A and B are shown apart, each in its own frame.
Chain A
Amino acid sequence: MSTALHWATLAAYVLGTFVYLGFLLHQRRGLYRMGLTILWIGFGLHTIALGAVWYEGGVVPATSFRQSLDVFSWAIMGATLVINLRVEVMILGAFTAPICSLLLLAAGLLPQVEVVKSPVFQNLWVVVHVFTLLSGYGLLALTFVGGLLYLFQDRSLRAKNLGASFQRLPSLTRLDTLNHQTLVAGFLLMTLGLISGAVYAQIALGSYWRWDPKEVWALITWLMYAALLHARLVQGWRGRRGAWLSVLAFAALVFTFIGAGLLLPGYHNFTNLTDLGTVQP
């Protein structure tokens, strides 16, 4: 059931990607609306699919790398659609839909891992930890995309190169609003995610902080985003510098998420998570 839903979601995202590419080419508002509708449908399917995995597995669906990618894709798409209700950046879907498709595809191709049905993962704190953190990551991914678009548009304006891409990209102010809102909301969720993780570590493992590599990297990422937020709000780093910093911070985020999850040792590593299932809370 969940597998079929998974592929149906992927199909919707891929279709949405193509419709958005059509919109990029032809600039027809109808195509944009169609693409948006398809992505909403895809997101609905995705939500049901994750619910099904959760129901079938009995634990929050983020105990393997495969599932984490799945939830990450869901979070990015959700963030795209929700932020679009506040700040309409019509071409945003053209960038996030392919990203979400690729993440889903990767998740689908990775081997299925036996779900660890441990009470460790059934605690409400884990649910809060996983979903706030990944929703935050989804929003910060948009800050990254928005930052890149900002840099691109800024360069076009400075170089006085007002070609097709200039016409299609939204205004600097709109991109800046997008970056600002996603950064604030993303940072807030990320903070909540880290706090809930610490609280849970205290409950389950007996200490708030264990110098686990992923914990350290998450802290580094958090500090970078805190610096970015400070620079924006206090120093007025709205323009290029803010955009560059958001790109840099997102690189740290991706490393925390993928690098520390796969390459570095520690209990947060996805292969070691299985062992964690044996710990008794």
Chain B
Amino acid sequence: MNLFLVGISHKTAPLKVRECLAPEPEETGELLRRCMGLPGVREAFMVATCNRVEVLVASEKDDTADTVEAWLGQGKPVDPEELSRAIYVHQGEDAVRHLMRVAASLDSMVVGEPQILGQIKEAYRAATAAGSSRTVLNRLLHKTFQVAKKVRTETNIGGAAVSISYAAVELGKKIFDDLAGLTALVIGAGEMAELAVEHLMAQGVSRVLVANRTLERAVELAGRWQGEALGLDELDQVLGQVDIVITSTGSPEPVITHKLAKKALKRRRGKPVFFIDIAVPRDVEFKVAEIDGCFVYDIDDLIQVVEANRANRAEAAQAAERIVAQEVVKFMTWLKSLGAVPTISALAAKGEVLRQAELERTLRGLNGIGPEQAEAIDRLTQALVKKLLNDPILFLKDPSHSKSEETKREQLALVRRLFNLEGED
């Protein structure tokens, strides 16, 4: 049984490509069923969030990764070359590790953000409903949930608002309660501003305006977020409509003046505005912060917000990686043992261990017993264990072809649980 994980994430692909691949939530079941129809695929699981689209399959074949990759891009309005550059494939142990890291929020855009686990649980429910998660993936997903929970409780990773954008979102929620349906305005450009916008959009901000000194650049950025582009001279007209303003221009003079902000607030009838000023020197005039309803946070303020949590971050991530590594090893051991031969030897070994232990205890308790009698007892226990295990072993060896591979795996898993051969559960 081979495990393959094929996907794209915020680390490898821009939002545009991720959006192309992401299915509608109600399509997932159908997609999983189609994925099960691919040659060799026995089990399938798919998670799609705004930051990643990943397909995990358990397959009989060795080349399933290519099949799944081709299937993922099929009929999608995306440049195949761009897609193949963005897609990553993990196999076996790496696939297990990747899934666990994702669930533990170690691979998130904001490390430690809590939503991803819920999203994976939701995806698992969909896979169960579609009947595409069976012995192997069921166990893998359950183990993954345990790992994620363990990481959350044993490390401090979840308690950390670790990125500036995350801090901005948290602050926004304390001002607006819910970011859904709000309008954001981005003035200028830059990686940090773009990241902040994507974060805000993930939280429900529905309309994005982009203002730039050069209108072409504004149009380009606006296209990425299906927003509206405008020139810097139009700020005066739109400032009254926006709730969140992200400024990131190279302008030496403030772009948002006290007068401009005051007028906007008046037009908004006092509804608050949240200014996130990423620019150095600052784009929002100092006095704007004094206006009723204006909240101005510059880059230093945001850093200060996250600073307290940041110290623990590296440490927490390290501890989390350790937890994941341990669980990966355990799961791979289980997966390899999921054949008839290792199960039979584990069963025989367990019988022998129990027999030896009981024998030794019994012989120690019996005084004045001759070697012949001792040998008789030894023979007795051997026969007993052998006869007791004979039928289960025959059952496991049964080569009957009427049984499907899946049934065999289920039965093996059951026998291992029945005789507690996992060692840990």
Contacts and interface: CB of A to CB of B under 8 A. Distances in A.
Interface of A: 153, 157-158, 160, 162, 166, 170-174, 235-242
B145 interface: no
B175 A172 contact: yes
> Number of contact residues on B: which range applies?
20 to 34
Contact of B292 (A166, A170, A240): A240
Contacts of A157: 171, 174-175, 295
Given A157-B171, A157-B175, A239 B301 contact: no
Interface stretch (B63-71, B252-260, B266-274, B363-371): B266-274
B391 interface: no
B289 A171 contact: no
B225 interface: no
A160 to B, nearest CB: 5
A153 B174 contact: yes
Contact of A160 (B268, B271, B292, B304): B304
B293 interface: yes
B198 to A, nearest CB: 22
B173 interface: yes
B404 to A, nearest CB: 46
B177 A171 contact: yes
Contact of A173 (B171, B175, B304): B175
A171 B266 contact: no
Nearest to B266: A236
Nearest to A172: B175
A239 B292 contact: yes
B166 to A, nearest CB: 13
B297 interface: yes
B266 A172 contact: no
A171 B173 contact: yes
27 contacts: A157-B171, A157-B175, A158-B289, A160-B301, A160-B304, A162-B305, A166-B174, A170-B177, A171-B174, A171-B176, A171-B177, A172-B174, A172-B175, A172-B177, A173-B176, A173-B177, A173-B272, A174-B177, A235-B270, A236-B265, A236-B269, A236-B270, A236-B271, A238-B272, A238-B293, A239-B292, A242-B270
A238 B294 CA distance: 12
Contact of A238 (B173, B175, B270, B289): B270
